[in-house]
Amino acid sequence: MEEIRILAATAILGYGFPDAAFEEGLARRPHVIAADAGSSDPGPYYLGAGESFTDRAAVRRDLERMLTAARRLRVPVVVGSAGGAGAAPHLEWLRAIADAIAAERGLRLRTALIPADVPQQTVLDALRADRISAVPFGPELTEADVRASSRIVAQLGAEPLVEALRGGADLVLAGRAYDPAVFAALPLLHGFDAGLALHLGKILECAAIAAVPGSGSDCMLGTLRRDHFTVEPLSPERRCTPTSVAAHTLYEKSDPYHLPGPGGHLDLTDCVFTPEGERGVRVTGSRHVPAPYTFKLEGARLRGYRTVSLAGARDPVFVRELDAIVAGVRERVADNFPDLKPDEYRLLVRVYGRDGCMGALEPHPVVAGHEVGLVIEAVAGTQALADTLCAFARSTMLHFGYPGRLSTAGNLAFPYSPSDFHAGAVYEWSVYHLLRVDDPGASFPIHWTELPEGAS
């Protein structure tokens, strides 16, 4: 085999894709249809709570179209980071969706399930054996962090995916996975260059986002050959350019030339991006440099419960005095709840229109317009306490007296009634570290099943 064609249907399973673009991709006779299904970008809540950040109906629609097309072409479907965060409940959630699709569409799917969960004791043993290190600028891991984690997953590499395809899987559903791995697995099985395969996977992970105009809800075709690869969007209104593909290579990376991943890094020092036809780009020079094998661990712990109130303000004097007002509100909360220690709750006030996005990192923390939006947030050990603290802070700010105040009717405008919202459980990252292993495949045993389950 001198060429492998990979159809990336969508940036994340559930984001959708146009029928016409997908059919155009199928007409190219891909050897595999693949999609990433998750990310840590939405934060730790979904890992900790065991919930998907994508909608079930949308995920089902995408997966059903992929599976029925793949069975027609007799090619595998590979999905990584199942259910969003890729832990056991997320993998089971996606397996159940696939099972329902198989049953209703009369499909028979040899399915490889690859969990990515790591037991607490395994992490503790590795920590004591000095096999866990911090990510750059991150904190060192402690045993308390590990014990507090509700779930821990490892970002698996391509090796277990390769073995699943070697075993004849029609469908591979993996837990938390290195994004390029689902696209690189089939090429690696057939002996293609690891540097080119993983770099192609890096581009395909977000489907047509690497095109102009970019979209995560559209399809991309990657074609891998022995000395280069090409990428091409499948909707006629999009095209790839050397700039757009090179830019996406840098997506979420701090070093433009060295992209770390499980088992090594991509060295792009000699990478060249050139136009290919009217809408494609050819890439050469990507190299994979092996290194001691590490997985990125991700763990989440419960921080408390959140209540939020949204408000706006446009009195110029209020806006001018806002820092003093917020400080005064914090003092009143502390005075009114003297039995609460500072570490038992958290009170945040985000000011949109000034520094709501970047907070203390905002280089220009001044109000440029005539109004600001305020998000008042309380986090505490129980939802009831968070409700109480948020309500008190909100009412205090509503009637807070400040120098130059002209009206006593109220300082804030509320877009909703009721003004306060339960945001529920709050999780924070407890583990975000690197685990060094000797055998990358041994950590992720494959569980084989036939879908639909129970069919005769």
What pLDDT does residue 374 have?
Answer: 98
What pLDDT does residue 455 have?
Answer: 64
What pLDDT does residue 453 have?
Answer: 86
Give the pLDDT mean for 98-117.
98
Residue ranges per structural domain of the chain? 3-116+155-293+437-451, 302-429
pLDDT in tens, 161-197: 999 999 999 999 999 999 999 999 999 999 999 999 9
What band does 200 get if pLDDT is binned at 50, 70 and 90?
Answer: very high
HEC string for the chain: CCEEEEEECCCCCCCCCCHHHHHHHHHCCCCEEEEECCCCCCCCHHHHHCCCCCCHHHHHHHHHHHHHHHHHHCCCEEEECCCCCCCHHHHHHHHHHHHHHHHHHCCCEEEEEECCECCHHHHHHHHHCCCEEECCCCCCCCHHHHHHCCEEEECECCHHHHHHHHCCCCEEEECCECCCHHHHHHHHHCCCCHHHHHHHHHHHCCHHHHCECCCCCCCEEEEEECCCEEEEECCCCCECCHHHHHHHHCCCCCCCCEEEECCEEEECCCCEEEEECCCEEEEECCEEEECCCEEEEEEEEEEEEEEEEEEEECCHHHHHCHHHHHHHHHHHHHHHCCCCCHHHEEEEEEEECCCCCCHHHCCCCCCCCCCEEEEEEEEECCHHHHHHHHHHHHHHHHHCCCCCCCCCCCCCECCCCCCEEEEEEEEEEEEEEEEECCCCCCCCCCEEEEECCCCC
pLDDT cut 70: percent of the chain above it: 100
CATH topology assigned to domain 302-429? Alpha-Beta Plaits (3.30.70)
What pLDDT does residue 456 have?
Answer: 54
pLDDT in tens, 26-77: 999 999 999 999 999 999 999 999 999 999 999 999 999 999 999 999 999 9
Please determine, for residue 255, whether its predicted confidence score (pLDDT) is greater than 90: no
Please determine, for residue 316, whether its predicted confidence score (pLDDT) is greater than 80: yes
Please determine, for residue 253, whether its predicted confidence score (pLDDT) is greater than 80: no
Please determine, for residue 406, whether its predicted confidence score (pLDDT) is greater than 90: no
- pTM > 0.85: yes
